[in-house]
Chains A and B, each alone.
Chain A
Amino acid sequence: MSVVAPDRSSRQAFSGFGVSAESNQIEKLEQDIVFHYWAPVSRVSPVKRFAELSATWRSETALFSSALQMATHPAYQEIIGMGKEALPLILRELEVQPAHWFWALRSISGENPIAPAIRGKFSDMTKAWLDWGRQRGYLE
């Protein structure tokens, strides 16, 4: 069953007739509570949230010379804070538009598929993490 947020405008169209200003204010508050229950900023979908954070991170770290600088950017930290929910999103992004997601993948998963022989080799590191993601079922 799909759930649809209430139509705010139609409800407001009936308010305000023969009731006090206080009642209108209370009704408005009640409408806001109901509306924000269904569509709060804090409950943006993980996919949308990740996309926004990723875009911010890319644009604001485009010239950073170290993965440390990139990883300590607030948007990147927020993605790490999403936990395992972010793993498939990061891996999909790594597959389509490779970037330095290795720090986040290691931080969230606690694993490190990078063999000493491929340390720093971006393409090999990317492949190692994508293979890891497929083996763990995070990627198809």
Chain B
Amino acid sequence: MNPLEAAFPNLAQAGYAITSPATPDYNCIAWAARDASAWWEPDPYGQYFWPAKVQRAYTLGSYEQAYVTLGYGRCPDGSLEAGFEKVAIFADTKGIPTHAARQLPSGKWTSKLGPNVDIEHGEVQGVEGPDYGSVAIFMRRPAP
């Protein structure tokens, strides 16, 4: 079985395409923030990038605040809204953030899969599963 479809049980049904080669240079949190130059993570050692003034903690609140610094605010769902760009923050069953995806103007979503490839997926739930858990927060900002 395709390793991506094995890891993400909803992916085949959501429809997807690989859109970049694998790279460890940036992660999903950065990619959702439109930054392909750094790995965003609030690690306790301070080795990875995290927005200044946002607490370095593996909590949904900290991740939400990271996107607030970019002009995002909470919204109720991931539906396509004209004039807005949305991100979805995923968390595991303990509430620890695991992933983020960004909505494209087409209504599809784009995700960077760890140090692996970028994909475009038809539904945000396409990457839910054992690795990333499920969507915990949707946020939006005026489309850039």
**A102 contact set on B, CB distance < 8 A:** 45, 47-48
**B99 contact set on A, CB distance < 8 A:** 65
Closest chain-A Cβ to B134's Cβ sits at a distance in Å of: 14
B104 proximal to A (CB < 8 A)? no
Closest chain-A Cβ to B66's Cβ sits at a distance in Å of: 12
**How far apart sit A123 and B38, CA to CA, in the bound complex (Å)?**
10
A63 proximal to B (CB < 8 A)? yes
- Residue tally, chain A, CB below 8 Å to B: 25
Contact call B7/A65, Cβ cutoff below 8 A: no
B25 proximal to A (CB < 8 A)? yes
Given the interface pairs A100-B24, A119-B38, A123-B25, the reply to whether A63 lies near B116 with Cβ below 8 Å is yes
Given the interface pairs A106-B47, A119-B49, the reply to whether A64 lies near B41 with Cβ below 8 Å is no
Contact call A114/B47, Cβ cutoff below 8 A: yes
Contact call A103/B43, Cβ cutoff below 8 A: yes
Interface pick from B12-20, B26-34, B74-82:
B26-34
Closest chain-A Cβ to B54's Cβ sits at a distance in Å of: 13
**A64 contact set on B, CB distance < 8 A:** 114-115, 131
**A120 contact set on B, CB distance < 8 A:** 26, 30, 38-41, 47-50
**B144 contact set on A, CB distance < 8 A:** none
B132 proximal to A (CB < 8 A)? yes
**How far apart sit A62 and B112, CA to CA, in the bound complex (Å)?**
12
Contact call B49/A63, Cβ cutoff below 8 A: no
Contact call B29/A65, Cβ cutoff below 8 A: yes
A1 proximal to B (CB < 8 A)? no
Contact call B47/A112, Cβ cutoff below 8 A: yes
Partner of B45 from the list A100, A112, A116 (CB cut-off 8 Å) is A112
B125 proximal to A (CB < 8 A)? no
Closest chain-B Cβ to A103's Cβ sits at a distance in Å of: 7
Contact call B46/A114, Cβ cutoff below 8 A: yes
Q: Which residue of A lies closest to B98 (CB)?
A: A65
Contact call B113/A63, Cβ cutoff below 8 A: yes
**A116 contact set on B, CB distance < 8 A:** 46
Contact call A119/B47, Cβ cutoff below 8 A: yes
B37 proximal to A (CB < 8 A)? yes
Closest chain-A Cβ to B100's Cβ sits at a distance in Å of: 8
Q: State which residues 92-143 of B face A: CB under 8 Å.
A: 96-100, 112-116, 131-132
Residues in chain B within 8 A of chain A (CB atoms): 3-4, 7, 24-30, 37-41, 43, 45-50, 58, 96-100, 112-116, 131-132
The 3 nearest A-B residue pairs measured at CB: A120-B49, A120-B38, A120-B39
A-B contact pairs, 26 of them (CB 8 A): A63-B7, A63-B113, A63-B131, A64-B114, A65-B98, A65-B99, A65-B112, A65-B131, A65-B132, A67-B43, A68-B58, A98-B24, A99-B115, A102-B45, A102-B47, A103-B43, A103-B47, A106-B45, A114-B46, A114-B47, A119-B48, A120-B26, A120-B38, A120-B47, A121-B37, A123-B25
